Amino acid sequence: MKKVLLAANISNTFQELLLQKSYALENWQGGVISKEVVGIITSNKLRLTQEVLQPCKNLKWIARLGSGIEIIDTDYCKANNIAFASSPAGIANAVAEHCVAMLISLQKNIQSSAFEIKDKEWIREPNRGWELEGKTVGILGYGHTGKSFARKLSVFGAKVIAYDKYKKNLSNEYAQEVSLSELQEMADVISFHVPLNKETTHYYNEAFIAACKKHILMNTARGELVDSQALLKALEQNKVIGAALDVIENEKDLVNKESTTWNVLDLLLEYPVIITPHIAGYSYNAIEKMSAELIEKLKAFL
């Protein structure tokens, strides 16, 4: 029996296709993956390390719902002829829309003033906001999501600059290519759209902040890109004037209400900071789009 392990939500279309091809679908419940599994559909819920993959002697392919493949041991997959694919295009619009929403909410004090209204406080002057028009937004990582965010920002009259270590000649009608140092010197808003790896872990740290003008930080990529203690220090010293975060370091610990990670969030929220629970790309539409993208990429293996 051919089995596909589901450790992520997929569209009905994807499920029906797998059933039509005589796959049995098994929901991930933890434990060792059975030898009958020939395909795995995963998200952040299941990290596919070499240790996890070794018992999967019949595994042929892995579909990753989302943009990052750091949760997959790709070296092991390549050595063992296991195909793998992610779905960055399918998630790009959802994340970009979330970025716009968070940034506007932060600049216009929408969330904070709405909570004041709930407490029967009608406060105007301290809630005076800033417009995006005329601001410079720096995008770090100009892939699918970075480009989608830049495209949306263009209608607000913001100047968008972008830096990507692995892409050159990326300037287009929505963004101007700059060096990293130029981005740090120019950007009023810095938004991260890079993968997590050894090079980018704590990429946003004290040294990075010291090279920047005063700015707003946005991170909808991976929590570990940002050194939370460095961010807290910069907020305290007013080197960073606000942050919009959909991801946070050690966020898996937050299922436990006694986790010390909650203490970090409490400290961050004493400043102009918006935090959402890793939902930027978690739209109903994105599930459909990512599923379609994975079907196309893996059609030779399904």
User: Which residues belong to the active site?
Assistant: 222, 251, 278
The tokens for 129 are 């906001």
Sheet holding 159-163, edge to edge: 176-177, 159-163, 136-140, 189-192, 215-219, 240-245, 273-275
Kindly report the three-state secondary structure assignment for every residue of 34-71.
Answer: CCCEEEEEECCCCCECHHHHCCCCCCCEEEECCCCCCC
**Residue 62, Cβ neighbours under 10 Å: how many?**
28
The tokens for 260 are 């010390």
Which letter, b or e, does each residue of 108-133 get, where b requires 16 or more Cβ atoms within 10 Å of its Cβ?
bbbebbeeeeeeeeeeeeeeeebebe
Angle at 8 between CA 297 and CA 194, to 5 degrees: 65
Task: With beta carbons less than 8 A apart as the criterion, state whether 68 and 222 touch.
Answer: yes
Task: With beta carbons less than 8 A apart as the criterion, state whether 162 and 176 touch.
Answer: yes
Which residues are CB-neighbours of 69 under 8 A, at least 6 positions away?
A: 84, 86, 195
Find the helix packing angle between 144-153 and 88-107, rounded to 10°: 40
The tokens for 20 are 């039509």
Task: With beta carbons less than 8 A apart as the criterion, state whether 302 and 277 touch.
Answer: no
Total number of residues shown for the chain: 302
